[in-house]
Every structure is written in structure tokens, then in C-alpha cells.
Structure 1
């Protein structure tokens, strides 16, 4: 077996579709990607452990380890991509197109390119070089439920000194992000003929009152909570989807609203759920048994890392970028349970993620290889008392 170069590695990973979706028609297993990476890691001398993620649609994690002992470095990321709109792509999403200093393809920056970089950094690395272990974690379903990272954080006993989640940050160390929770509000009305509205209970009208209360909550959150580290400084409440009714001449008997709430670090899920419940409590009391709140996906916590941590200062120095906060959620809070020093840091831009014609800029690759090499040197080869 011959280990492929960067472009060959990236091409092979992108060719293997590994879409995660809440829609079963789109959702796919990630096993082909996991098997390919397992073969490469095995060739490089890593020990490889593949785990089936419980209660998933045939999804897997992989933990590869080189070296022994305590501490060390964990490089982590997800194997899945979002679905794609073929009409928006100018090339085949599953075939790498190199043009104008960019590699185009689904998952190139989010985040299969990170694993292609890891392969190149490790190709000349020997276990005899290491004084502490190097781990590589590949997870499942980050784009939906984060089930892979949740399972890993509960089932593993490894305790690396430092963890790096290679999401596309344009090689800027991210030390803070918001949490994420999503809920579905369902109103069960009573259908009837529109000429006799009193004979029914209009679910859309009830939902209108609920939305008014939620808009008030949204304003209160913005007034009372703020963090200047974020470009969107307040917690956000988004009305993402609404469904209700079937005909203009019928009283609507059923209506659903899907909402998304992104909390600042320090805000607890219990508080948020209480505020959501309290916001429409009087309406629920008026329409007993007709309103329910259901979680769509398990909530993802917010994330915060001390900006004076060794890994933050070291990565700032290597990258030339100051640490920052971002509005989106990652697997960092789950990985942080295993490692006291955790950052989000990787090649590519988040503005390309989840977009048609996603690409990874070539000028990010050599920088990533250099930084990962120096991280492995610092946390796995050179004994560093600061960790």
C-alpha cells in the first residue's frame, strides 16, 4: 500500500458520500469514509478502534492512536457532510475540481480537508519519536445530532493534554461559541368549516399568540444578555419553519413551529427551557392540552476556553491570528470534557461550509501542515510542563 498525497487523499474522501440529515431519504452511513481512514491510519502504524454509534443509522466513530502514555494531543473532526443542492453546483460535488488555487467539492473545508492534512503530517512520523500519544478522532453526525461526539465523550477514558477540533476557521483559534437547542411547538386545534369558526379551534390563531410571546422573550434576551466577544452579541431566537392548515375554507386543526435558540456561554439549558415554558404559560392554561413543546435534537452546549491557555497562546503565535468567538456550534464542548485545553482550529472558511461550490483554498494547506507538525512536536514529542 502507498499512502496518497494530499490531493489524492482529499479526492478519495470527497468521493465517498457521507451525508447526515434528519431526513431519512438523505441520511447515509459514514462507514466507507471510516474504513478508508482506518486503512490509512493502520498503514501509518496507529492502533485503530472503530465504534458503532448507538441509536444511529449505521454510523461509526474511529479513534486512532500512535504512541503510549498519558496526555498528548487529540486531533478531532467529523466525517459527515450536509446534503447538497445539485442545481447550485458548477461541478460534481463528489469529484475534486482544482481551479484558481482552490479545491472544490462537498466537504473539502467542512471538514474532510483537515483529515487529508493529518495524513500528510503523519506520513513520516514514527512511534519512536513520541514521548506522549497522538490521537485522531473521527466522529459521526456532527451536522445533525452530534451523536458521535456525545457518545465518545461518555464512553472514552483518554485524557489528552490538548484537543484541536479542525473545523474551518481560516486558521484562527476559536475559544468560544454559542450553544444550540431546537424545539418544535405543536398546537392541536379542532378543524371545522370556515363558515362556522366557533365550531372549531384555530391552531394558527393560537400559534399567533405564542409567536407574539416568543418575540417578547427574544427582545428580553437581547436586552438582558450580551457578550462583546461575538459579532452577534446577544442570544438569538429564530423561527425556522412553520406548518399548518390545509385549506382556506377550513378552520386549521394543527400547526407546528420549529425554533432555534443559541445561548451565550454561561447560560444554562434549564434556564432557557424555563423561559420558553413561561413565555406562553398563560396561553397553555387557556388552551389546556392543546400546546406541546418537543425537543428536535439534543441540545449542544456553549463552549469557552481560557484565552491564556498554553494551546491558545501557542496557536496564536503559529497562525499569526488572535483568538476569537463564533456564533455557530461545534463538538468542542463534548471534547472539552476529555481535555482541559480545547480549541477549534482548522483550514478553510466557515463562509464556504454548507454552500454550493464549497472549496478549500490551496494557500491554507501548507500553513496547516506546518502548524500541525509544530503542535505534534510540542505536545507529543517535546516534554512540555505547561500542559
Structure 2
């Protein structure tokens, strides 16, 4: 068996839905994508290990390896996509569409397409008859868009020790050496409902939430003023009030109100420290109204990621891309992959501006340069040089 052409791989990856969502009615298995990648990897001489996630039955990681021993380069990405609103798409999300010099499709840049780039680069190097000198690995994970359970599980792998790892999230092939973390929390206020004609007989959760929000806005300013890393476009940790719901009728005292917030910690600001700051913000309210305010993680918090800009992988990526490594505000699987002890960066085709958007696309003029850069990095890390 031989691997398909670059565009055929791209088409087949897009054609197999693999949405991950906390809503069980939208959530899908990624097994069809994993099986496709496994067949192509085996055709290129890789040994393949497929593992079901302990935290998410029906979801799978793939680890493919060619070469013996530790070290070498691992190319990593996630196989899942976000849910989509079909009414906002002008194209079929699951059919790769070439139009106006763009490749449209769900996952075209975030980030199924990366696997087509990697496998095509390996095939080209094999055709040039260069000798592989270091282990070459491909990692495909599940549930990055929700819990990052796939990356968290692979971080515990007993015998996985690559020297380098590139995570192919869409960065327009600019190397990323650091990013913020991500916490999503629910602030739940429980009051006591009753008839609105007698307010003193109840405890209004919306009124308590008003105080909670005031304290959170103070915390927002505290984070902005106390913590800063100038490498980031937004140099401070952010706190966003994203969703709120409370009460059920105008003539009832609200018995429950819930607010969902998003926090993005900088490197150096630990998840534990940020959680304590959040608890400190609501603790005076709980003293006034005992046990009225709960803080609940909506998912496992994701720590910030940072690597050394002087390491060999960053320098190679900068040389190949002709771009200085940058810091970004979004987060990836990098902090978990880094636990394997490897030099880690994020670098992949496509723009982050297209991620999670209707009519997600990759500009066709970016394909050839990205192919060349990925091939150069793989060649430098794992193959004899080509004249």
C-alpha cells in the first residue's frame, strides 16, 4: 500500500467527522480519523500504537514511530474539531472545497490538515532516498478542543522520550515558544427563592451575584496591574465574564444564579495561585451569606506553556521560517507534551484567525511554503542532509 496524494489525504481527513464537545449530543468518536492515519503511517513503515482514552471511552490517541530508541522528532496534533453551525457555512464542512484559491473544510487548519503536510513531507524524503538517522514519531490526540484528555494521557506514557516536538496548530508557520494557560470556571450562587412581594423571606441570588461580579472586576484589575510579560500582545492575565443565567420568573425571588468566566494565566502564574485568588474574591460573600457561593472548574485547567528561546528546536524553526519565535494568547497541548522532557514549540500551517470560524480555510498560496518548511525541519532532525 502507498499513501495517497497530499490533497487526497486532506480530503479524507476532512470527510471523517470528529467533533468533540461537552454536549453529548454533539460529541463524536475520532476513531475513523485515527484509523486513516494508522493505515498511512503503516504504509510509510511506522509501527502504530492506538490507545483508548481512560477519561473518555470511545476516543483514541495514535502514536506512530519509525526508528529505534529515544530522541528524534515528534510531530503532534489533535484529530478533533469544534462543533459547527451549518447555517453559517457556505460550504459542506466535511467536503474539502477548493474555491478562490482557498481550501475550505472543518479542520482544514485546526488541525487535521497538519497530518497531511507531515505525511507528505515524509513521503518526499523517502523518495529522495535519504537515510533516516533519528527516530521519527507522529502523535495524534483526542479531545483537545474540550478536556485535552488525549494530551494529558500521553504525558504519562512510560516509554516516550522524543528530543523534540512540534505541535502543528495554525501559526502561519511562525514558531511559538510560549503561551498563556486557560481556566473556565462556574461561579454558582445559591439563594432562597420566594414570592417577590415579600423580599425579606428570601435571599436573592442575582443580588448576591451583583457583589460577586464587582469583586471579580476588582480581581481583573488586580491581575492586570500585578502580572505582566511584555512578549505577549496582551501582556497581562485576562478575566472574561462570558455567560450568566439566573432566575425563572419576574415575580419570584431568584434562588440560583450562575456565571461562567474564562481566565488566561501567564507563565509563572500557577493554576493553584489563580484558583486561590478566585476563592479570595468570593470568600467575603460566603462570610456574609454562608455557603452561598461555589467556584467550580468547568474543565481541567490548562497551565501556561513556556520554553527556552535559545534551545536548538526554536533556533532551527526560526532559521527555517525566517521568523522570530513569538508568544500567543491562546493555549495548546504544549504544557502536557512538554512533560515528556522534549524541546517543544507550536508551529503549523494556516492562520489562527480562521480557527473555530465558519468557512474555515487554508490559503492555497501558503501550501507549498509550509510543505517546504516542514520537510526541512524533519530532514534536519531525523535524516541525512540532502545536497
Is the structural similarity TM-score above 0.5? yes
| C-alpha separation in 1, matches of 2:189 and 2:157 | 38
Q: Tell me the SS of whatever aligns to 1:142.
A: coil
Whether 2:37 is the aligned partner of 1:8: answer: no
Q: Tell me the SS of whatever aligns to 2:48.
A: strand
Following superposition, the deviation at residue 128 of structure 1 comes to 8.2
Contact 1:168–1:350 at 8 Å: present in 2 too? yes
The equivalent of 2:85 in structure 1 is 85
Distance 1:2 1:379, change over 3 A: closer
1:234-313 to 2 correspondences below 5 Å: 234-313=236-315
Contact 1:69–1:131 at 8 Å: present in 2 too? no
The equivalent of 1:229 in structure 2 is 231
- Residues 130-181 of structure 1 show CA distances to partners (whole Å, capped at 9, x for unaligned) of 2210000000000011000000001242111110000000000001100111
The equivalent of 2:103 in structure 1 is 103
In structure 1, list runs of 5 or more residues that go unmatched: none
Following superposition, the deviation at residue 4 of structure 1 comes to 1.3
How many residues align? The count is 383
Runs of 4+ in 1 over 6 A off after TM superposition: none
1:161-172 to 2 correspondences below 5 Å: 161-172=163-174
Q: Tell me the SS of whatever aligns to 1:107.
A: coil
| C-alpha separation in 1, matches of 2:103 and 2:158 | 35
- Residues 34-74 of structure 1 show CA distances to partners (whole Å, capped at 9, x for unaligned) of 01111111111100000001121410000000111221000
| C-alpha separation in 2, matches of 1:277 and 1:181 | 14
C-alpha RMSD of the superposition? 1.4
- Residues 90-136 of structure 1 show CA distances to partners (whole Å, capped at 9, x for unaligned) of 11111011012210010000001100111211224559822210000
Contact 2:282–2:293 at 8 Å: present in 1 too? no
| C-alpha separation in 2, matches of 1:324 and 1:255 | 40
Contact 2:131–2:384 at 8 Å: present in 1 too? no
The equivalent of 1:53 in structure 2 is 53
Q: Tell me the SS of whatever aligns to 1:294.
A: strand
Contact 2:185–2:261 at 8 Å: present in 1 too? yes
Contact 1:149–1:335 at 8 Å: present in 2 too? yes
Whether 2:162 is the aligned partner of 1:146: answer: no
Q: Tell me the SS of whatever aligns to 2:340.
A: coil
The equivalent of 2:20 in structure 1 is 20
Match for residue 175 of structure 1 among 167, 174, 177: 177
TM-score, normalised by the number of residues in structure 1 = 0.96
The equivalent of 1:209 in structure 2 is 211
TM-score, normalised by the number of residues in structure 2 = 0.96
Following superposition, the deviation at residue 382 of structure 1 comes to 4.3
Structure 1 residues 360-369 or 308-317, which shifts more?
A: 360-369
Contact 1:28–1:57 at 8 Å: present in 2 too? no
The equivalent of 2:36 in structure 1 is 36
